Amino acid sequence: MKNLEQVRARNALVLSNKTTLQGKQGGEMIKKVPSLIINHGLLATIAFSYSEQDAWVTLFGAIAEHLADPEIAILPSGCATRDQLMEHLTGKQATSELLKRATAETMAWLAYARRFVKKSSQTYEGEEN
């Protein structure tokens, strides 16, 4: 049996192999997400992601997959998209306790994901890496 730290690290590594999560201004948007969650909450941050680009969709899909991991089991298995994450956290069966657990686990997972996700070598309009 793995401990939670091992599961978090494994799932963060999966994300890091998929993408760089580059933001609009060329920064790593994954570094902004924890402060958004702290200041506004998980649901508001997910809602904000609906107005953003593909990196946000990818990140919240990875969060949904992590929370649905059988060794985490905060969400039902098969939950793998931002939409499914939002639906489950706001659905009829959702409780305040579920949202608290999902938020705490998301923050713990992001601590790993922030370190594993690679900075892109791609530059954007006048920016240098």
Question: Contact at 8 Å (CB) between 108 and 69?
Answer: no
Q: Per residue in 1-43, pLDDT tens?
A: 689 999 999 998 888 877 666 655 445 778 889 999 999 999 9
CATH numeric code, 4-116? 1.10.520.30
For the stretch 94-111, pLDDT in tens is 999 999 999 999 999 999
Domain ranges of the chain: 4-116
102 vs 63: CA distance, rounded Å: 9
Distance separating alpha carbons of residues 114 and 30, to the nearest angstrom: 6
